[in-house]
A and B are shown apart, each in its own frame.
Chain A
Amino acid sequence: MDLISWRFTWQYSKDQLKLKYRYTTLGFLWNFLEPAIYLTVLSVVFSLVNRMNISDYAVFLFSALVPWRYFEKIVNTCTDAIVGGDWLLKKMYVSPLSFPMTRWIVASVEFIFSLVIVLVVFVLLKDSWTIHPIIIPLTIIPWSLLGLGLGMIAAVLFTFFRDIRPIIQMLLMVGFFTAPILFKPDLFDNHAIQAQLLRWHPITYFAALFQKPLYEAAWPGGIDWIVSLSFSLSILLLGYALINRYKGSFYYYL
């Protein structure tokens, strides 16, 4: 990306955020309300369905659900980023990377705001606190990079195949329900096939980055860092390479 594209990405992201909240007070409040309502409904439902210790389960569930929702939001908003940037891409040269980047910046800023409410929920649910949650600003990085990487891949695919969105959403859903976010990995016997499969599921290691400090009062393990960082960086590089490879063709498909 050249200097103009970087400057544009930054200015355009700021403008997008400004516009989103300019004429509305509820708009800004919604950032806090939406996760609060979502997490409250989930807690109530699970306390009715499951007879387990609800606040214990809620802390477990929310610890990985919060980064997942951030990740999912990046992928979903990035999907139509390049197509949505046609107003500029058809008229002026800017790097097509600018548009997924902008969506990523906007989603990240909103996520940081919504963390305030998440913090309140955790304070209400958790009995005892340890030092470990302090690592959260670092453990969000692999999630964020994975979201941007997959978002760039989705944006390229969507430019060429406009009917790809349901497929992307289905894959995200499969990823969510097969990962140990809703259920605890110790649900299965260590030698069971399910436990073996979970070890091959990349999201397992991403989830551990949040579950360990928030739920288990432990630091994320070396393997969690290695798998999540190398996986997210590979996806990011793949997305970057795809955009660079096909950027000359976008004009003809916008």
Chain B
Amino acid sequence: MNTIFNLSGISVSFDRHTIKQRSLRHALGNIYNRNGHYKTQALKNINLSIQEGEQVGIIGRNGAGKSTLLRVLTRVITPQSGELHIDKSKHIVPLLELGIGFQPDLTGRENCYLSGILMGYSRDDIGKKIDSIIRFSELGEFIDEPVKNYSSGMYARLAFSIATDVRPEVLLVDEVFGVGDEFFMRKCIHRMQLLMHAGTTVIFVSHNLDFLVTQCKRLIWLDQGTVAMDGNSDEVAASYRASQGIKTNNGNQIRKEISGIFSRS
């Protein structure tokens, strides 16, 4: 098995910018006045390796660094420290958001071409696939309308059809299944399962724990930018639930605090 991603000591931190801090005036001022920057550490010393054909789920609370990690894997973010090795021979399709690269004024068909090119296909490739993309998206004649006139469901359907009609070897998915009606969602999940059976490496970020446990053998639990647990999906899901469970057991404590705030005001 080949290693697709290998991360060692990856750290990412964001400056808490204000608009002012992006000015030349501010930069010149800083030469004399070196106030410490406010930084948010999004990922701290992440060590991971993901093999070909694995299906990995990433879980964690909001702000745990899940999306940042996915952005590092897609090379959108260059980490400030650590080493990242990516198997460049593999065709990697990022699905961080539905409809990346869609231009609102272009028609659905034109957006297929632009979006398909971003996913690594040539115009000719897309020309061959376009009929099956349109069929799967169920858009029919709307395909020649500008996408700004689409409903959010139509938009999502087109975006999903493009991203999965292409046959990626590695697919990175960030919480994109909550779209479309139930029937389309089932179609999507069915298609994802076909891809996974065909050996596609898939990395999911999702809050839907049940979905991840059924689809992935391995789960990675991120907490405040670090890997809290990495392993068999049932075990990780159980520990994750338990950790959150402790907090919910403290419900009485929270209720007391809340009533305290109200009685004071």
Q: Which residues of A contact B (CB under 8 A)?
A: 4, 7-8, 11-12, 15, 18-19, 22, 87-94, 160-164, 167, 247-249, 251-253
Binds A, one of B109-117, B214-222, B223-231: B109-117
A161–B97 contact, CB under 8 A? no
**Is A4 a contact partner of B120 (Cβ separation < 8 A)?**
yes
Q: Is B87 an interface residue (CB 8 A)?
A: no
| A-B residue pair count with CB separations less than 8 angstroms | 74
Tell me whether A162 and B76 are in contact (CB under 8 A).
no
From B19-27, B55-63, B237-245, B253-261, the one touching the partner chain is B19-27
Contact between A163 and B23, CB atoms less than 8 A apart: yes
Complex partner residue of A251 from B24, B27, B78, B113, CB under 8 angstroms: B78
Cα–Cα distance between A90 and B117 once the two chains are bound (Å)? 17
Note all chain B residues with C-beta closer than 8 A to A93. 74-76, 94
Instruction: Spot the interface stretch: B98-106, B132-140, B184-192.
Output: B98-106
A248 proximity list for chain B (CB < 8 A): 78
- Interface residues, chain B, CB within 8 Å of chain A? 14-15, 17, 19, 22-25, 27, 71, 74-78, 94, 96-97, 100-101, 103, 105-106, 110, 113-114, 117-118, 120, 122-123
Cβ-closest 9 pairs across A and B: A248-B78, A161-B24, A93-B75, A163-B23, A7-B117, A91-B100, A162-B22, A19-B105, A11-B117
Which interface residue of B25, B76, B96, B113 has the most chain A CB atoms within 10 A?
A: B76
Take A12-B114, A161-B22, A161-B23 as given contacts and tell me if A88 and B101 are in contact as well, using a CB distance cutoff of 8 Å.
yes
Q: What is the CB-to-nearest-CB distance from A180 to chain B, in angstroms, rounded to a whole number? A: 31
Q: A248-B78, A251-B77, A253-B17 are in contact. Are A11 and B23 (CB under 8 A)?
A: no
Is B14 touching A7 in the complex (CB atoms < 8 A)? no
Contact indicator A4/B22 (Cβ below 8 Å): no
Which residues of chain B are near A22, meaning CB under 8 Å?
Answer: 105
> Which chain B residue shows the least CB distance to A6?
B117
- Which residues on the B side are within 8 Å of A88 (C-beta)? 100-101, 118
Please give 15 more A-B residue pairs, beta carbons under 8 A apart, in addition to A4-B120, A252-B15: A4-B118, A7-B117, A11-B114, A12-B114, A15-B114, A18-B106, A88-B118, A91-B96, A92-B94, A92-B118, A161-B23, A162-B23, A163-B24, A251-B78, A252-B14
Given A90-B76, A92-B76: A253 touches B22 (CB 8 Å cut-off): yes
A7 touching B97 by the CB < 8 A rule?
no
Contact of A94 among B23, B77, B118, B122 (CB under 8 A): B118
Chain B residue contacts of A252, Cβ below 8 A: 14-15, 17
B-chain residues with CB within 8 Å of residue A247 when the two chains form the complex = 78
Contacts of A161 on B, CB cut-off 8 Å? 22-24, 27
CB distance from A184 to the nearest CB of B (A): 37
Q: Nearest Cβ distance between residue B134 and chain A, in whole angstroms?
A: 19
CA distance A22 to B106 in the complex (A): 10
CB distance from B168 to the nearest CB of A (A): 13
A18 / chain B contacts, CB cutoff of 8 Å = 106, 110
User: How far does the alpha carbon of A93 sit from the alpha carbon of B96 in the complex, in Å?
Assistant: 11
Contact A11 B24 (CB under 8 A): no
Q: Would you list 8 pairs from A and B whose C-beta atoms are within 8 A, ordered by A residue? A: A7-B123, A12-B114, A15-B110, A18-B110, A19-B106, A22-B105, A92-B118, A160-B27
Contacts of B120 in A (CB 8 A): 4
Question: Which of A22, A91, A162 has most chain B Cβ within 10 Å?
Answer: A91
* B-side contacts of A4, CB under 8 Å: 117-118, 120
Give B67 Cβ to nearest chain A Cβ, in Å: 10
Contact across chains for A91 and B106 when beta carbons are under 8 A apart: no
B17 contacts across to A, CB distance below 8 A: 252-253
Which chain A residues border B14 with CB–CB below 8 Å? 252
Chain B residues contacting A162 (CB-CB under 8 Å) are 19, 22-23
Contacts of A94 in B (CB 8 A): 118
| B114 adjacent to A160 (CB under 8 Å) | no
Which residue of A is nearest B14, CB measured? A252
Most chain B beta carbons < 10 A, residue from A8, A92, A93, A249:
A92
Q: Are A8 and B27 in contact (CB under 8 A)?
A: no
| A15 partner residues in chain B, CB cutoff 8 A | 103, 106, 110, 114
Q: Which of A19, A90, A164 contacts B103 (CB 8 A)?
A: A19
Instruction: Provide the residues of chain A in CB contact with B94, threshold 8 Å.
Output: 91-93
* With contact pairs A4-B120, A19-B106 given, residues A164 and B97 touching in the complex (Cβ less than 8 Å): no
Q: Which A residues are CB-close (under 8 A) to B15? A: 252
With CB as the reference atom, state the residue of chain B lying closest to A8. B117
Query: Which residue on chain A has the smallest CB distance to residue B92?
Result: A93
CA distance A253 to B19 in the complex (A): 10
Docked Cα-Cα span, A4 to B93, in Å, equals 12
A155 nearest CB across to chain B (Å): 14
Expressed in whole angstroms, the Cα–Cα distance for A240 and B78 within the complex equals: 19
Min Cβ gap A55→B in Å is 43
